[in-house]
Each structure stands twice: as structure tokens, then as C-alpha cells.
Amino acid sequence: MDESIICTLFENMPRQGPGSAACTKKMFFSVPELPEHPAILDTGCGSGMQTIDLARLSPGARITAVDVHAPFLVDLRTRADAAGVAARIHPVQATMDMLPFPAGSFDLLWAEGSIFIMGVERGIAAWKKFIRPGGYLAFTEAVWFTAAPSAEVKRFWQEVYPDIKDVRDTQTIAEKAGYTWITSFPLPASAWWDDYYNPLLTRLPALEEKYRTHPEAQAILAGIRREIGLYREHSSEYGYQFILLKNGE
């Protein structure tokens, strides 16, 4: 995949995946208990909309924000400065499947729109050791909302993320990995449109013009239009679930 087009597409966006400040807040206040100065790890933070929200929601928190793509971390630093929370956010360029932290470092591990990169089963198993016993893992993940998705939707997910499951199967995986299921809720459609698909739609025409003679870029842009069109037509069939787990019982 052409890195430069992907970067141009997603840099300087409010966020790089579905989500919203309201959902981050709702999930943060669903965490049953945290110390006054929690250590939080935000994995696949992107340019950090949710990182900054977490810093505001938890004034005593120290947040480590990990992403593999350096320009997102630069953007996060600028935004955190503007929000007055930069002193409590520590950006780290690293890959989420080899996190450079000692075991049990975090009270809360946060992952909005990023666990799919490892797959939910691998992700929750690999991250467990970084969460102290009794700590929490909050993440969003693609799920089926229907047992009988339409053929077009099924084909799309088979191509992009065959790992997609329903909420119950995700719960079974989490419990087998030694977590306790605390709560979950689906992201509303506004969390897909307001800060993600609508800003993408705004920038697509200029990119389509810029990359008119670049077949690989055209294919990527067409794929994004297809994804957005599919969500517009079929959002009752799939979506993102925000899930909260406790490490242990």
C-alpha cells in the first residue's frame, strides 16, 4: 500500500477512526475504580483526540501514547500543547505488538480503533501483561450487529477484516484470556460521521484530482468511498463496540 497517500489522507484529521469525545467520556466513567494518579497507555493513539480527552477527564493521569507513525505523534504533541495537557502525555513511537514497557506498568490500557491491527484475540492476550492485576482494558472493535449480514457487507468484511465477530464471541475470547467482562456499548452513527467519515469525504475530491493518474492511489481512494457508502447503507448490520474488561476477576 502507498504510505504517502495513506498519510496524506489521515494526517490533520480530527481522528483516524470512528469514535467521539462523548464515547470516550462515557467509557472512561464506566471504569469502576482507578487510583488518583493512574498510569494510562493509549495504543494506536493516532493524532490523539482520545488521548487529550483522557488527559482532561483524568487530571491526575499520566498518559503514554503509542503509535508507529511518527507524524501522528508530532500532531498529538501540538494538539496536547494547545490543550494545555502536554506535560502529562508522553508520546512513544513503537509497535503495539512489541510494547517497550515493564510488565504491570499500567492501571488502564486504552485502544480506540486500533486492536484490529493485531486482531482482538492476539491483542488482548499480548497486552494483558502490561496491565496491572485488577487494572482495565478499554477498546473499540468491529462487531456484527446481525447474525445475517447482507452479501455485500459480508464480502467487504471478508476482504478487509475476516476476524470480525459478534459481541458474544468477543466476550468469550476475553474471558478465556483471563479478563472479566465489565460493560460494553455500540458507538452511535454520529461517532462514525462527525469526526471521521465527514472530514474524509471533504478531502477526497482534492485527492482524487491530485492522484488522477496514479492507479494505486485511485484504488485506495475508491476503497474509502466504498467503505463509507457501505456504512451509509448498512450501519444496522455492523459497527464498533466499546468494550471494558478487567484484568483478572
Ligand X SMILES: C[S@@+](CC[C@H](N)C(=O)[O-])C[C@H]1O[C@@H](n2cnc3c(N)ncnc32)[C@H](O)[C@@H]1O
Which is nearer to ligand X, 69 or 88 (by Cβ)? 69
Contact positions with ligand X (CB under 6 A) in 103-162: 112-114, 117
Asked if 72 interacts with ligand X (CB under 6 A), we say yes
Closest CA relative to residue 14, chosen from 44, 49, 66, 42: 49
Between helix 120-127 and helix 167-176 the angle, nearest 10°, is 30
Instruction: Tell me phi and psi for residue 161, to 5 degrees.
Output: -160, 75
Asked if 49 interacts with ligand X (CB under 6 A), we say yes
Asked if 68 interacts with ligand X (CB under 6 A), we say yes
Closest distance to ligand X from the beta carbon of 151 (Å): 26
Stretch of 31-39, 45-53, 127-135, 166-174 lying at the interface with ligand X (CB under 6 A): 45-53
Question: Which is it for the CA torsion 38, 176, 244, 66, positive or negative?
Answer: positive
Closest distance to ligand X from the beta carbon of 67 (Å): 5
Among 40, 45, 137, 207, binds ligand X (CB under 6 A): 45
Closest distance to ligand X from the beta carbon of 126 (Å): 11
- Give the DSSP letter string of 12-32: TSS-SSS--HHHHHHHHTTS-
Residues in binding contact with ligand X, number by CB under 6 A: 21
Are the CB atoms for 130 and 41 separated by under 8 Å? Answer: yes
How many CA atoms are closer than 13 Å to the CA of 18, on its beta-carbon side? Answer: 23
Q: How many residues in the chain?
A: 249
CB nearest ligand X: which residue?
46
Closest distance to ligand X from the beta carbon of 42 (Å): 7
Which is nearer to ligand X, 112 or 141 (by Cβ)? 112
Q: Which residue has the cell 494483558?
A: 128
Contact positions with ligand X (CB under 6 A) in 12-31: 15-17, 19
Closest distance to ligand X from the beta carbon of 88 (Å): 18
Q: What amino acid occupies position 99?
A: L
Report the alpha-carbon distance of residue 235 to residue 18 in Å, rounded: 13
Closest distance to ligand X from the beta carbon of 111 (Å): 7
Report the alpha-carbon distance of residue 42 to residue 64 in Å, rounded: 6
Closest distance to ligand X from the beta carbon of 63 (Å): 13
Asked if 44 interacts with ligand X (CB under 6 A), we say yes
Report the alpha-carbon distance of residue 2 to residue 74 in Å, rounded: 21
Asked if 46 interacts with ligand X (CB under 6 A), we say yes
Q: How many CB atoms lie within 10 A of CB 86?
A: 17
Contact positions with ligand X (CB under 6 A) in 155-194: none
Asked if 242 interacts with ligand X (CB under 6 A), we say no
Per CB under 6 A, residues contacting ligand X are: 15-17, 19, 44-46, 49-50, 66-69, 72, 95-97, 112-114, 117
